[in-house]
Structures are given as structure tokens and as C-alpha cells.
Structure 1
């Protein structure tokens, strides 16, 4: 069976069959009428800047989607933050990309949501280790999408093995509760010892210490069992049993230190959100974040034609330049005309018509992505991460929402 899990194959996406049915109806209608106008279309979430920033990513997949198509595309750089206006612009004959709209928006919307949520977690504990543990909450086919978004937002690592193979990064993680159950209550020391003996030397010795007894007792037993080989303990206490989780972590820290185990780190996981991370970041050394990232709302991107060229029904007609011959158009509630997004030195995000002068000291953000069907941009995850974190600082990401 070639596709046992019922996922849409890559060839269907590239061929435009991963689309909404009404785009097929549109193609049939336009071809019947002999129409194929030259258009400029823009992808936006909000028309005007809102002050509530989100992370833009997924653009590498968009470039792959449009490779070989007779279009020009400009887009924000991977990892750029935005709060309104265009994030991507397409110019070309409409039938070159009509049926790709559904996949295009999907490639941008969900990864951008993941990355935005991951950035919230990252900035909740800037000096701590923060790992992505959420792949189990999404379809396995998009696990690498989740983990890449997490890395782009500055997280230190992730747990999914196959995603690591795709991203050329080593997946991390130590032991689940299932391992502890297999050894049984009272045999926790045997489980940790067997783990220490079995796994490669470079694997951190992080003992899970909340399975059968209270967190303090198991943490002290792990320290006694593994001694100097113990790198840390992980506390994954379910929310129904936590009470004051901060107090539990402080108590474990106190008792470890009192017995000379100051070098043993404490890692927390299990339903963590930015608020709880901020509450714990001064008493814990690291965090595993899952559902906050994978449960993030997708960014509500839409694609709209904003300019259409008169007399360009012939698909062989030459490409017009944005703003030279096109007529601005828009549906009600959207803004017509080709637009540009700018970042100013004070971190402001501005939107203006592309053929008008931008704001003083404004840097235009849309950059070439595809020209005549050829990808003209290289993608570097580390550079995107640097851009994301720097831009988050520039725009004071999250500060306005926190203030509200």
C-alpha cells in the first residue's frame, strides 16, 4: 500500500490537486471564457498594523510549491515578525497559481502559529533551556514542521527522531514513565541504573522523578543512585497533583543542595505555558513545552488579488511591472493596490502603497523569493532564528499583550 496513512502525497500538492474544489471550477470557467488576467495578489492576516506581532515562516515550502511556475514572488524573510499588511506578494497570470492558493496558505498559516507560540515560550525564560515536546500532539507527517518552527523561534532542541533526520539535528530526550513502570514501584534505582548503563555516554543522565513517590524522595534517590553521573532530574507532575508547583520545585532544589547535589539540574514538563514558565524560570533550569506550541491557533492568512491588468487575457502577454499598468482592486473590507511593509528603527511596522514613499528610515521588508519560476533565495535556519529573536526584541514582542 503506497500511502497507508491517508496523507496527501507531495505530487498532489505540487500539481495543484491539494486545493479547494472551487479553484478547479474557477480554472474551468476562465479557460472556457478564454480569460487569464495578469494579477498581483497579496497574502495578509490583518490589513493595518495591529501592534500584536506574529512570526512569519513556511516560506521555504512556498518557494518549492511555486518553482517552475511563471510567476514572480516577494515575501518577508523567514523568521520576520509582522502585525499587518502583506507578508507575501505574487505577480503573474492568474491561472499559473489559482489552484495553489489552498496549499500556499496552509504552508504559511500553521507553521507561523507554531513559531509564534514557541517564541512566547522562549521569551518566558530567556536564560533557560527550553525544548519542544509537542510532536505527539500532531499528525506524524508534520512533526518536522513543528520542530523547525520551534527551532526558528529559538528553542534549544526537540524530541522527535524522524524530524531530526529531516532537519539534520539530533533529537533529545531521556526516559518516559513507561520505563519506570516496566521496573515497578520500589525499583526506581534499578531503572535509572539500567538507563545509565544502556544509553550512549553523550546522552544526558536526566532521571524522571515523579512516578511513584513524591518528587523530593525520588529526586534524592536518583542523586544517591547515580551520584556524579546524574545531570538532572525531570519533574512531569500532572496538574491534578501539583498544588503549588513552584513550591515543589523549590523544595526539591533545597533538598538536593542540602546534600551536596548543587550541580543537578531540575527540568519541568507537562502542560507548561508561558505564564507558568515565567513563574518557574528562576527555580528550574529547563522546560519541555508541548501543547502550547502544537495547540496554537494557525495565523489566519488569506490571499487576495489587489491589482489586475486590463487587456491581459492572453496568457502569452508579457509580464507588467507592479503599479505600471494594473488597476487596483479589492473586495469589501480589504485594501486595494500593491503594498509594501516596512520596519522603522524604533521597531514600528508600517504598510504603504508600493509606488509611494515609505516612512522615514523605513526598511522595506518584502524580498525576492521567486523570479520567473526560479527560486532566488537561500534558506538558513540559524539565520532565521537570529532574525526572529532580534526582531522580537526590536518590536518588544509580547509586551503590549502583557500590558493589556
Structure 2
């Protein structure tokens, strides 16, 4: 019997341009038949003008891998930078060199940037508290690494997906699900915690899940008594419909731990948490696990538009013709202007060379850690997360 296959587009299909919309195939056929292949400048934008709603750019590494080897020059804002209107990427070269790659290119940028932007909102909601990404289960497994990479670029402290960790060169985090407690049966939570402690590598933290069968306070004290000094922390993952006033529950748990001499046991919480939850709970806990608020982010609505053909400005209706530059001003604002015209005084030019004649110039810029540093810098510079319009 032939094994069923997963519905996953292959890397070869993406690189070859087969992962495209049909009308790009028709366009290539038509232009080749007509003997036309104009030299164009195309720009990738989400908004034409700044509106104060910054978003975090991600997915540039995959676009570089897609365009490498093609006879084009590419300038781009670096991954981990915040943008607000105007192009995040500029492609120059013969149109047919990249026409069929547009669908994949936009997909790489749109999905990754949406995830990274939401993760940055989460990061800014609890800047001093440990946060892990738990959202890979909400997306197709083929893009789990996109979710976890976006979370790291936004500055989160870790993630849960093992295979994504293999790809990103990072160790996945996490201890136990409710299934482990259920497998040992009601009333046997101590046996589950003890078995975990005996089986799992000593480097993994001993964080006991404490809300499976009974009151959180009850299970927390039982876990502390069972594991003693070996217990690093407890996790509360109570379903929203059953937890009532979560802040009050956490305060009770902290009180009882302290009252019984377990001051060093930390408290971690998870389960459908979003920005407002983190703000409300950040002073009460030592860490968060955040899932769907990150992984279910809406993609950024990028479009790719030709703005110059054979040296002449051109654009479709509703788009701005001419090649543009984007700047970060000294005050932290975003500015868009025509290339070749002066930009704001003491501003930083954001579009930087990425590819020249098909060769990727700066592979080091794809470091996740470097991108996270850029995101933290830009978040402070622009005030990201301090305004209501960035806290949805």
C-alpha cells in the first residue's frame, strides 16, 4: 500500500517558481512570446505612507534564499527592524528573473512578519518576565519554525517545538502536558511528578503542572511536598472557562507556597493568554507560555508593485511611482521619500544592500540573535507597545 503524503509544497517547487499563482505563468508565457523582458524596479510595501502603526519585519532570510542566483539586485530593511509605510524591499533587474517568484516571496514576508509583530506586542506587554512560545500546535507543522523564529526575533526567551529547534540551532523548552498526569490517573499526581523527575534529563527544569484534577493550590502544595528542593516551579494552565479570577488564584498559590517554606518555587502560567493578560499578571508570575496570540497572527498585507520600467517612473492606480527610500528619523519616526532626494537630517537609511547580481552579500545579518537585538532597539526608539494602536 502506498503511504499517504502530506500536503506540503516542496522546496524545489518554491525555488523553481512552480509555487506561484497561475497568472504569473500566463504572464511569463505572454512576455516571452512577445519578446519582452523589461528592466524593472519593484517594491514590496504594506502601506504607502507612515500611519504610526509599526510592524516588525521577518522572513527576509527566506526571500534571500529564494532570489539567490537570479540576476537581480535587492535592497531590504534588515530582519528585526520596525517599519511603517513605504517599501521594505526593492528588487531591480529583468522582470522575468523574478516574476514567477512573487507569490512565494510575499508569503515568506507576510506570514513571518505578522507572527513576529504579534510576538513583539507580547514581549512588550511583559518586558521583564520570561516568555515562551507555545503556539506551534495551532499551525501547519511545515511552518512551525517560522512561528518559533518570529518569536525569537521579537525577543521571546524560548519556544516549545523540537524540530524547529533543530532547524534554528536552539533547544526547545517545556516539561509536561496534562496528558502525563491523566496517564497516571486521578489521585496519582505524585506518581506522575516523581516519574518525570526520575526519567527526564537533570538539565530540564522541574516544573510541575498543577491543575489537572483538583484545586490549583492543592496540587501546588502536593507537588512541592513530593519533589522538595528539586522542584523549580509550578505551571498553571487552567482552561479559561474554569479558572475564574486568574490573578486571585495566582496570589493564593504564591501565598501558600511562601507560607509553607517554598519561597524559591516559581510560578508559570499559560493557556490562551494575550497582551492584556500579560499586563495584568506580569507582576505576579515568573514566566508565561503564550500560544495562539502569536501563532494565529494575521499576515501583514504586503504587495509587490513595479514602480519603474527602463528608468521611467510608473505605477498602477493607487500606488506611488518612482523608486523610494525609507528612513528612521532621530525622533524614531519612519519617513518615505524618493531615491536621490535628501532625506531627513540625521536620519538612518533603512534599505540596505542584500543581493547584488544574484549573490547574497551579508549572511551574518540573518542571525536570529542579531535580529532580536535590532527589534529591541527599534521598539525602544519608536515607542512600540506603548500606544493603544499597537496593543490589539
Q: Please tell me the TM-score bracket, short chain as reference.
A: over 0.9
Alpha-carbon offset, residue 331 of structure 1: 1.2
Q: 1:393 maps to what in 2? A: 380
Q: Could you list the per-position Cα deviations for residues 242-297 of structure 1 after superposition, in whole angstroms to 9, with x for gaps in the alignment?
A: 11111001110011011111110000000000110110000011000000011100
Do residues 349 (structure 1) and 334 (structure 2) align?
Answer: yes
Q: 1:79 maps to what in 2? A: 80
The DSSP-based 3-state class of the residue aligned with 1:73 is strand
Out of 302, 321, 336, the residue aligned to residue 321 of structure 2 is 336
Cα distance in 2 for residues equivalent to 1:167 and 1:3: 28
Q: Could you list the per-position Cα deviations for residues 337-385 of structure 1 after superposition, in whole angstroms to 9, with x for gaps in the alignment?
A: 0000000111010000011111111111001111000111222111110
Q: Could you list the per-position Cα deviations for residues 75-126 of structure 1 after superposition, in whole angstroms to 9, with x for gaps in the alignment?
A: 0011000011000000000010000000000010000011001111111111
Q: 2:361 maps to what in 1? A: 376
Q: Could you list the per-position Cα deviations for residues 24-61 of structure 1 after superposition, in whole angstroms to 9, with x for gaps in the alignment?
A: 00001111111100000000000000100100010011
Cα distance in 2 for residues equivalent to 1:199 and 1:10: 36
Q: 1:260 maps to what in 2? A: 261
Contact 1:51 1:400 in 2 (8 A): no
> What is the 5 A alignment of 1:252-331?
252-309=253-310, 326-331=311-316
Summarize the Cα distance change of 1:211–1:77 in structure 2 as closer, same or farther, 3 Å threshold: same
Q: 1:142 maps to what in 2? A: 143
Cα distance in 2 for residues equivalent to 1:87 and 1:277: 30
Q: 2:248 maps to what in 1? A: 247
Do residues 202 (structure 1) and 203 (structure 2) align?
Answer: yes
Cα distance in 2 for residues equivalent to 1:34 and 1:200: 64
User: Which blocks of at least 5 consecutive residues in structure 1 are unaligned?
Assistant: 310-325
Cα distance in 1 for residues equivalent to 2:387 and 2:322: 30
Cα distance in 1 for residues equivalent to 2:40 and 2:324: 14
Cα distance in 2 for residues equivalent to 1:402 and 1:280: 21
Q: Could you list the per-position Cα deviations for residues 209-239 of structure 1 after superposition, in whole angstroms to 9, with x for gaps in the alignment?
A: 0000010000010001101100000000101
Give the superposed CA RMSD. Answer: 1.2
Cα distance in 2 for residues equivalent to 1:226 and 1:256: 13
Alpha-carbon offset, residue 401 of structure 1: 2.7
Contact 1:52 1:398 in 2 (8 A): no
Summarize the Cα distance change of 1:138–1:3 in structure 2 as closer, same or farther, 3 Å threshold: same
Contact 2:327 2:335 in 1 (8 A): yes
Contact 2:125 2:385 in 1 (8 A): no
Cα distance in 2 for residues equivalent to 1:234 and 1:167: 26
Cα distance in 1 for residues equivalent to 2:251 and 2:113: 35
Alpha-carbon offset, residue 185 of structure 1: 1.1
Structure 1 length-normalised TM: 0.95
Cα distance in 2 for residues equivalent to 1:307 and 1:87: 16
Cα distance in 2 for residues equivalent to 1:391 and 1:6: 38
> What is the 5 A alignment of 1:83-94?
83-94=84-95
Contact 1:340 1:366 in 2 (8 A): yes
The DSSP-based 3-state class of the residue aligned with 2:114 is helix
Q: 1:319 maps to what in 2? A: none
Q: 1:318 maps to what in 2? A: none
Cα distance in 1 for residues equivalent to 2:368 and 2:73: 23
Q: 1:99 maps to what in 2? A: 100
Contact 1:43 1:86 in 2 (8 A): yes
Q: 1:161 maps to what in 2? A: 162
Contact 1:74 1:370 in 2 (8 A): yes
Cα distance in 2 for residues equivalent to 1:35 and 1:146: 40
Alpha-carbon offset, residue 4 of structure 1: 1.6
Q: What stretches of structure 1 move > 2 A for 4+ residues in a row? A: 398-404
Cα distance in 1 for residues equivalent to 2:389 and 2:343: 30
Summarize the Cα distance change of 1:297–1:403 in structure 2 as closer, same or farther, 3 Å threshold: closer
How many residue pairs match? The answer is 388
Cα distance in 2 for residues equivalent to 1:384 and 1:336: 31
The DSSP-based 3-state class of the residue aligned with 1:399 is coil
